[in-house]
Structure 1
């Protein structure tokens, strides 16, 4: 029996691809939005997404220019190319938005996320959790006789893989910051 040949846009959960063959495929895009750092700006930007039914997969916000009162909002969203273009155009029309950059199409990007993972375990499970943490280069930031809290920084896929391996060993809680991204080079 051969492996399933599943191409981009097809569901891996069904033997049938019920999508419109002429329809466009949804893609994930990382948008970097420079905004005025003032009350209500985040609500206006995020309101654009919720008001039009766009989903946000990840959201991070921080002030990046204290003297210029500017903040950077990094949003990971998904949609067809037409929907992504519409999102960028609508964001650009908000008065307090200085710039909207689609990092996904601008070239190579450095992406990182921080995660904290609480793993409960004793005996062999505890030893195995420490071994896996060492492989992933996760730091132990808290330790008790019953649990560990690991800190891990890396691409989203690395944090997902770490969580998947820790679940059977006793993962009981996790906190993730959301994606931070910068384009490479000048």
Structure 2
């Protein structure tokens, strides 16, 4: 839970794609009592040598600066970019949302899904699995509405983000 002086930050950490790097980064957060709200990892180079780790965390500005400095000191880390401080960026998340219901509940779930541009990726006579991509707020709003209709299960990918514009990280 973030305090009144805490800020949410999205960090992109570009690393060598080697065994144990994720454990090192998670250990850095754990050892210092920092929380990770979301963590995603993806290979970003054609030769599979480099990965991007996107971490969403929060804390007062001095803690965020300390996290960034400590990440930059890790040997396989090439670059740490605080998207929140760098400027305009895009954040997206994927969610799979299972909703059970019949009759009017089914109709309402489909209506809401259409408004949110969620896709039906599985259906039975008594349930749907929706796929939704969007901002974390959009995903949270959709889940909240589905909770009232018969939410059964949620799977969320975590946030991925990158700077807007033509520049490469």
Category of TM-score, reference length = shorter chain = over 0.9
Matches within 5 A, 1:7-18: 9=4
| Cα separation, partners in 2 of 1:149 and 1:87, compared to 1, 3 Å | same
TM superposition outliers: structure 1 runs of 4+ over 3 Å? none
Where relative contact order (Cα < 8 A, 6+ residues apart) is larger, the structure is 2
2:82 to 94, 102, 114: 102
Q: CA deviation at 1:85?
A: 0.3
Q: Distance in 2 between matches of 1:92 and 1:38?
A: 16
Q: Larger strand proportion, structure 1 or 2?
A: 2
1:144 to 124, 134, 158: 124
Q: Larger helix proportion, structure 1 or 2?
A: 2
Q: CA deviation at 1:67?
A: 1.7
Q: Which residue of 1 is the match for residue 106 of structure 2?
A: 126
Q: Distance in 1 between matches of 2:72 and 2:18?
A: 17
Q: Which residue of 2 is the match for residue 157 of structure 1?
A: 137
Q: Distance in 1 between matches of 2:21 and 2:56?
A: 18
Q: Which residue of 2 is the match for residue 75 of structure 1?
A: 55
TM-score with structure 1 setting the length: 0.86
The size of the alignment, in residue pairs, is: 164
- Give CA-to-partner distance per residue, 1:16-46, whole Å, 9 cap, x none: xxxxxxxxx1000000000010110110011
Q: CA deviation at 1:66?
A: 3.5
Structure 2 residue 25 is matched with structure 1 residue 45: yes
Secondary structure at the aligned position of 1:117 is classed as strand
Q: Distance in 1 between matches of 2:18 and 2:42?
A: 12
Q: Distance in 2 between matches of 1:163 and 1:67?
A: 38
Q: Distance in 2 between matches of 1:38 and 1:94?
A: 13
Q: Distance in 1 between matches of 2:126 and 2:96?
A: 17
| Cα separation, partners in 2 of 1:92 and 1:129, compared to 1, 3 Å | same
TM-score with structure 2 setting the length: 0.95
Larger gyration radius, structure 1 or structure 2: 1
Q: Which residue of 2 is the match for residue 117 of structure 1?
A: 97
| Cα separation, partners in 2 of 1:124 and 1:106, compared to 1, 3 Å | same
- Give CA-to-partner distance per residue, 1:137-179, whole Å, 9 cap, x none: 1000000001000000000000000000000100100100000
1:31 to 4, 8, 11: 11
